[in-house]
Amino acid sequence: MSERTRKDRTTLDYLRPGAEERGRLRETFDFNDVNRDGRLTLGEFIRFMESVDENLTAAECGIGFDAIDTNRDGAIGFDEFYEWWTRG
């Protein structure tokens, strides 16, 4: 990959609306990814949801988790998390 291509992509990312939000969401994701494996497990996700709304039950979180884990690998990757966050 050429230097010019990298530079163009960086500029594009910077200018694209939502890039800043994606960065903030990345921080949220990393903060809740307690064991730093790059994915949110159900336990990590429940902890996150309870920090957003303490009235949510574990069962409700489980339903949300299944909806977000679109590739069904049992964990939420950042792309899945981002899709879910921006969808609503």
Point out which residues bind Ca ion (CB under 5 A): 33, 35, 37, 69, 71, 73
Instruction: For the CB of residue 63, give the shortest distance to Ca ion in the complex, in Å.
Output: 15
Minimum distance of Ca ion from residue 23's CB (angstroms)? 19
Q: Record the tokens describing residue 23, joined without a space.
A: 């960065």
Query: In sequence order, what DSSP letters do the residues of 4-27 get, joined into one string?
Result: HHHHHHHHHHHHSTTHHHHHHHHH
The nearer residue to Ca ion, 56 or 84, going by C-beta atoms, is 84
Distance, in Å, from the CA atom of 12 to the CA atom of 54, rounded to the nearest integer, reads 38
Q: Please report how close the Cβ of residue 28 comes to Ca ion at its closest, in angstroms.
A: 13
